[in-house]
Amino acid sequence: MAEPTATDPAALRTSPLAHLEERMRAATVSGARGVALTERPFVTMVNVRVDPASEAADRIEKALAAALPRQCGDTTASGPHTGAWLGPDEWLVLSQAEPTAVTAELREVLAGAPGWVVDVPANRTTLKLSGPSARRVLEKGCRLDLHPRAFGPGQAVSTTVGPVPVLPWQVDDTPTYRLFPRSSFADYLAR
C-alpha cells in the first residue's frame, strides 16, 4: 500500500487511539507476567453479507483464495486476507491489501447477487493485546471462556469486554489477541 501524500485525504486521518499511544506504551509490563496493548490503526476491513450456499459466495471465496468460515468462532486465512465469521451469512474480511481494491474486487464478484460488500475500516479499530498475561487481562472483563480448551488460535467471536461490544480474535498460542471494538468505544476499552 502506497504511503499517503500531504494532498491525500488519508494523510489527514487520525486513529481513534492516537492520543493514548504513549500511555499504552508506558503501561506495558515486561517479564513472565508481561502484557502490552497497542493499536494497529487503519486495518483494511470489509463486511461481506451473502448466502453461503450461493454461486456469489463461491466467487467471493475464489477472490479471497480462502473459504468463508462456516461456524461461529471460525476464521479462515489465505495470503493477505482473513475472514472472521460474524453470522450465518455475514463475515468480516481483514486484509493487508489496499482497502479500495479489496472492496472493489469483492463488489465486482458479488455481481448483482443478493448481499453486500461494505468497506468498514472507520467502523472499528484494531488493538493488539499480547504477552504472557494477555489472556488473564482479557478474562477480567470478558464473558467469553478464553481457556485454551474453549477458545484458541484462529478463533474470533463477538462478545463484550465490560460493556464494550468487541470481536476478540486469538491469532496465536502465545496468546496474542486482536480486539476489534467500534471506534467510538476504543478509548473506553483501551483505558
Convert the pLDDT of each residue in 21-58 to its tens digit. 999 999 999 999 999 999 999 999 999 999 999 999 99
C-alpha cell at 132: 504472557
pTM to 2 decimals?
0.89
Convert the pLDDT of each residue in 144-171 to its tens digit. 999 999 999 999 999 999 999 999 999 9
DSSP secondary structure letter of residue 5: P
Convert the pLDDT of each residue in 60-90 to its tens digit. 999 999 999 999 999 999 999 999 999 999 9
With 0-12 / 13-18 / 19 or more C-beta atoms within 10 angstroms meaning exposed / middle / buried, residue 87 is exposed
Q: What is the layout of strands, in order, in the sheet containing 44-50? A: 75-78, 81-87, 90-95, 44-50, 115-119
- CATH 3.30.1360.120 assigned to domain 17-41+124-190? The reply is yes
Q: Give CA–CA dist 22/33, Å, rounded.
A: 21
Q: Give CA–CA dist 68/79, Å, rounded.
A: 14
Q: Where are the domains of the chain?
A: 17-41+124-190, 44-119
Fold of 44-119: Alpha-Beta Plaits (3.30.70)
